[in-house]
Structure 1
Amino acid sequence: MFIFLDNEASSLNVESYPIEIAWVGEDGRSESFLIRPEPGWTDWSEEAEALHGLSRDTLMREGSPAALVAQRFLAATENCRIVTDAPAFDRGWLKRLCGVVGEKEPAVHPVLEAWVEALRLAHGSASAEEDATLLAQVRIREEKRTAPRHRALPDALELWRIWKDLRDGVT
């Protein structure tokens, strides 16, 4: 089962941490959390804040404890294949989040894997030529994708919607 993941973060620096996380299952059910920064999480980028619109004060007031979010995420995604459009960044942010509860972050895969698999299931491709045609369809879909909103839930839902459309044969 695929889980479509997106994170927003304090910055794109090495010391960044997740401030918002959302995931969507194949059935379209989703969860989203603002994350209250841990005491040692001090990195902050004004540029990132301008993109996602979340202030550190908002996170301190409205965010859930990182440990609670990590436990919920790990429970909800157990035995699932997690896909994202930014695996390298998301892997690092999940490492920070899961580390709060002493757990290792789960593997994260490029969302293209899910999209190609959806096309194969919908079209039953078997040959290299058919696979090339399907990959071209995925590229077209990616180009048509709406611009990221820089909020975790709408971005995760967009990844899921593309997968669902590809799986259902919607062009």
Structure 2
Amino acid sequence: MSRIAFLDFEASSLGKKSYPIEVAWVFDDGSSEATLIRPAPGWTDWASDAEAIHGIPRDLLLSEGQPHDVVARRMIACLTGHTLYASAPSWDGQWLSRLLRAADLPRHALRLQDTDDAQRRVVIETCRAAGLSPGQQNSILNEVLAGAARDGQADGPPAHRALADARQEYERWRAIRHATETAVRALASELPGGP
């Protein structure tokens, strides 16, 4: 299985001129990184209602944020070669692209996929590794993802801070992997000659 990471941005607003103000990622081993992003020149969009949600004042970005180009280069250095997942890949992809372009880096140097894909993939790969038939794989996939959807409703809404939200996606993926392993063991024990 290739290395993966769960990524999340917070942004200045949800408007057309919005830009990333915080980014975080969590690797599949649980290690993580997060940073505030100092706005690039010309990034002036700001929505007070967005600030009320994420709780990051613009002054904090100016005083403690890392320069946008430093953050972009750090992301390229850390994340190139990884499969990257985000819970809102269209929004997060827009902010990633804006960050990379502002740093004069190729806007498609990093690409995001939907975390739903990571969840499905870990179930299927775990089932295939156990030698399960396609029918058995689909049965476990449906069972595990239905359980994860119920558990996800109990998790509550996102925290709207990049690291907390990326970690929540990572923890959900880990729980799905664990549930799949448990389901595979249970199925194996029911089969003739099973443990």
TM over 0.5: yes
Distance in 2, matches of 1:114 and 1:129, equals: 18
Task: Give the aligned residue type for 1:155.
Answer: D
Q: Kindly state the Cα deviation for residue 141 of structure 1 after the two structures are TM-superposed.
A: 3.4
Corresponding residue of 2:74: 72
CA contact (8 A) 1:122 1:166 kept: no
Q: Please list the CA deviations of residues 146-168 of structure 1 after superposition, one character each: whole Å capped at 9, or x if unmatched.
A: 32111000111111111112112
CA contact (8 A) 1:121 1:167 kept: no
Q: Kindly state the Cα deviation for residue 123 of structure 1 after the two structures are TM-superposed.
A: 4.2
Corresponding residue of 2:59: 57
Q: Which moved more, 1:93-102 or 1:19-28?
A: 93-102
Assess, with a 3 A threshold, how the Cα gap between structure 1 residues 134 and 91 changes in structure 2: closer, same or farther.
same
- Name which of 95, 104, 124 aligns with 1:120: 124
Corresponding residue of 1:145: 155
- TM-score for both structures, normalised by structure 1: 0.92
The answer for unaligned runs of 5 or more in structure 1 is none
Decide which structure has greater helix share: 2
CA contact (8 A) 1:11 1:43 kept: yes
CA RMSD after TM alignment: 1.8
- Name which of 1, 13, 29 aligns with 1:27: 29
Distance in 1, matches of 2:168 and 2:139, equals: 28
Q: Kindly state the Cα deviation for residue 63 of structure 1 after the two structures are TM-superposed.
A: 0.3
Note if 1:16 corresponds to 2:18. yes
Task: Give the aligned residue type for 1:169.
Answer: A
Corresponding residue of 1:135: 145
Q: Kindly state the Cα deviation for residue 138 of structure 1 after the two structures are TM-superposed.
A: 3.5
Q: Please list the CA deviations of residues 117-160 of structure 1 after superposition, one character each: whole Å capped at 9, or x if unmatched.
A: 22234444622444333332332233233321110001111111
Distance in 2, matches of 1:169 and 1:134, equals: 6
Secondary structure class of the residue paired with 1:97: helix
Aligned residues: 171
- TM-score for both structures, normalised by structure 2: 0.81
Secondary structure class of the residue paired with 2:113: strand
Distance in 2, matches of 1:117 and 1:134, equals: 12
Corresponding residue of 2:178: 168
Name the structure, 1 or 2, with higher relative contact order (CA <8 Å, separation 6+): 1
Note if 1:107 corresponds to 2:117. no
Q: Kindly state the Cα deviation for residue 25 of structure 1 after the two structures are TM-superposed.
A: 0.5
The answer for unaligned runs of 5 or more in structure 2 is 183-195
